[in-house]
């Protein structure tokens, strides 16, 4: 009787180990699918160019053109535009093994300089990427102690004024997103914007 019980326990135990290995493999696979949506960040890289065409009061058509991708158009309400990105940075020893920081553009939105406008006008926010598989970003944020090769996960955003006919070049460096005006003399405009 004891022998049968011991064999049954071993069988159940081996099923549990097998199921655990399968579950772990599936979890790793789903995390890798999600990680594939990020791009490597080795230096300041071009994210794209965003340009604006005014179509009404505090309403602009924003055209975002990214390298090797078709231009995307968005109707944005507000005074400013904002692009958000997620970043995953590895610990230095992991970087030495060839793992560069990763980034993924998250969304584009319109912003109002006046808080009253922001409270009363519907926001315009658009997603710039999907989130398939196991959400690695959320996993790392919740369980950072279990993932010692990840140094930091953080968001980065850049926002500047929307002006008819104005274009900005958006780049991303190790410190985050950067936007630089491409057209015309925008120094007076940016000085006014900074003083708001």
- Judged by average pLDDT, the poorest of 79-93, 100-114, 148-162 is 148-162
Average pLDDT over residues 65-88: 91
pLDDT value of position 183: 72
Which among 169, 176, 49 has a CA at the least distance from the CA of 101?
176
- State how far the Cα of 47 lies from the Cα of 95, in Å rounded to an integer: 22
Which among 19, 48, 172, 164 has a CA at the least distance from the CA of 102?
172
Q: Which residue has the tokens 């535009």?
A: 81
Average pLDDT over residues 104-111: 92
Most confidently predicted of 7-16, 59-68, 97-106, 183-192: 59-68
Exposed / middle / buried, residue 79 (Cβ in 10 Å: 0-12, 13-18, 19+): buried
**pLDDT category of residue 62 using cuts at 50, 70 and 90:** very high
* pLDDT tens-place string over residues 119-164: 999 989 999 987 666 666 666 666 666 666 666 666 789 999 999 9
Q: Per-domain residue ranges for the chain? A: 37-194
DSSP bridge pairs for 72: 64
Residue 12 predicted with pLDDT over 90: no
- State how far the Cα of 169 lies from the Cα of 165, in Å rounded to an integer: 14
- Which of 54 and 36 is assigned the larger pLDDT? 54
């Amino acid at each position: 009787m004891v022998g049968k019980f011991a064999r049954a326990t071993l069988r159940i135990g081996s099923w549990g180990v097998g199921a655990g290995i399968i579950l772990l493999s599936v979890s790793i696979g789903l995390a890798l699918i999600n990680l594939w949506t990020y791009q490597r960040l080795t230096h300041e890289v071009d994210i794209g160019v965003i340009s604006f065409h005014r179509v009404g009061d505090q309403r602009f058509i924003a055209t975002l053109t990214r390298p090797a991708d078709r231009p995307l158009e968005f109707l944005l309400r507000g005074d400013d535009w904002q692009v958000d990105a997620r970043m995953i940075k590895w610990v230095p020893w992991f970087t030495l093994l060839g793992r560069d920081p990763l980034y993924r553009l998250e969304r584009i939105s319109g912003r109002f300089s006046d808080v009253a406008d922001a409270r009363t006008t519907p926001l315009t926010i658009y997603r710039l990427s999907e989130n398939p598989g196991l959400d690695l970003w959320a996993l790392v944020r919740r369980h950072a102690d279990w993932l010692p090769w990840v140094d930091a996960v953080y968001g980065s955003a850049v926002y500047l004024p929307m002006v008819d006919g104005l274009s900005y070049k958006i780049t991303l460096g190790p410190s985050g997103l950067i936007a630089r005006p491409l057209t015309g003399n925008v120094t007076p405009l940016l000085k006014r914007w900074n003083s708001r």
